[in-house]
Amino acid sequence: MAEIFLSGLVGAVIGVVVGAFLRPLTVWGERQSRAMWGVKPVFVSVERDPAVLWGDKPDWQGFTVYVPDPIRLRDCDLSLDRDAWLRAMKSLGAVDACDTPLRITIQARVDAAVVIEGLRVIGHRSVELNEGVVISRPVDGADMTPQHYVVHLDGMSVPTVGWDPAGKEPRRPPAGYTLSAGEVERFHVWGRVGSDTSTAAWHEWALELDMLVEGRKHRYRIDDDGRPFITVAPGDLPWGWTRGDGVQWQDPYGSSGVT
């Protein structure tokens, strides 16, 4: 019995030593293979569906959308719960107004050190609007605003990207991660327009994410499944709102029905 235990112990020790010796060679081989075949060591994906972003949270997050054709509001039930309301607005051709929240996910295919080097706006286009309406669904509850990068789409000659800690720590965005194979890291990005401008505008935009992964530079395009994101600045467009419980409805034209 002692001999069996001793041989097992020796085998385990040899396995650990050999594994420690071969590990650097395995990592080197993985890096060389990725470099040779152009395989990126991480996946980057974007989620922009509010029903998914806030699906595990209470109905405390308000939403504001732009509806190009207000006549279609006549047959729309605005007393729906959050997810049904969002689906109803989408069926009317509504797009985001005021802000566009996104969640970016970085998933490692292999063990990797990841550093975010930059996030910038690309393909920005702005067109003034003089028709359509803005509809809000305000709600009550605790503030659920996460820390996030904020994309300032107006107010400057070119859009800029900053960091909003949302009153939390750390005050600066986390720049570096060490991810094991299969692990993920997530952060939020909100495209935003100023509410103090009287000019209504349709903003189209996308992002480029620069990352340093295991010492190599990688660039990823962040968009809406191949299309630009859309965020509307309400300006002086008619603005209506409905409470989530449907108790109150303020028509954007100040009447009981859209005309």
Structural domain span for residue 99: 42-250
Query: Has residue 259 been placed in a domain?
Result: no
25-29, 105-109, 166-170, range with the lowest pLDDT: 25-29
One domain for residues 7 and 77: no
Same domain, 170 and 240: yes
What would the pLDDT profile of 205-220 be if each residue is shown by its tens digit? Answer: 999 999 999 999 999 9
Q: In this structure, are 30 and 80 located in the same domain?
A: no
Total structural domains in the chain? 2
Q: Using only C-alpha atoms, what is the Rg of the chain?
A: 25
Whether 167 maps to a domain, the answer reads yes
* CA 175 distance to own-chain centroid: 17
- Domain check: are 78 and 25 in the same one? no
Whether residue 258 lies inside any domain: the answer is no
Q: How do residues 19-50 score in pLDDT, each as one tens digit?
A: 545 555 554 455 554 443 346 799 999 999 99
In a domain, 220, yes or no: yes
Q: Answer yes or no: is pLDDT of 99 > 70.
A: yes
Q: Report the percentage of the chain scoring pLDDT > 90.
A: 50
Is residue 257 included in any domain, yes or no? no
Same domain flag for 134 and 227:
yes
Task: Say if residue 11 is in the same domain as residue 82.
Answer: no
Q: Which is more confidently placed, 37 or 236?
A: 236
Q: What is the mean pLDDT of residues 228-253?
A: 75
Q: Is residue 255 part of a domain?
A: no
State phi, psi for 186 to the nearest 5 degrees.
Answer: -125, 150
Q: Which residue has the higher pLDDT, 4 or 162?
A: 162
19 shares its domain with 139: no
Average the pLDDT over each of 44-53, 74-83, 165-174 and give the range with the smallest value.
74-83
In DSSP notation, the chain reads -HHHHHHHHHHHHHHHHHHHHHHHHHHHHHHHHHHHHT--SEEEEEE--HHHHTTTS-S---EEEEES-GGGGGG------HHHHHHHHHHTT-EEESEEEEEEEEEESSSEEEEEEEEEEEEEEEEE--S-EEEEE---S---PPPEEEEE-SSSSS-EEEEE-TT-S-SS---EEEE-TT-EEEEEEEEE--SS-S--EEEEEEEEEEEEETTEEEEEEE-BTTB-EEEEE-TTS-EEEE-TTSS-EE-TTSSSS--
CA 140, CA 152: separation in Å to the nearest integer? 26
Question: Is residue 256 a part of any domain in this protein?
Answer: no
**pLDDT in the model for residue 254:** 55
What integer pLDDT is reported at residue 252 of this predicted model? 58
Indicate if 34 and 95 belong to the same structural domain: no
Same domain? For 46 and 1 the reply is: no
172 with 223, same domain? yes
Q: Is residue 206 part of a domain?
A: yes
- Average pLDDT, stretch 171-191? 91
Q: Are residues 174 and 221 in the same domain?
A: yes
Q: Taking 90 as the threshold, does the pLDDT of residue 128 lie above it? A: yes
Nearest to 201 by CA among 122, 130, 101, 121: 130
Residue 195 has pLDDT above 50, yes or no: yes
- Residue 159 and residue 33 share a domain: no
How confident is the model at residue 30, as a pLDDT? 52
Tell me which of 10-24, 144-158, 183-197 is least confident. Answer: 10-24
pLDDT category, 253, cuts 50, 70, 90? low
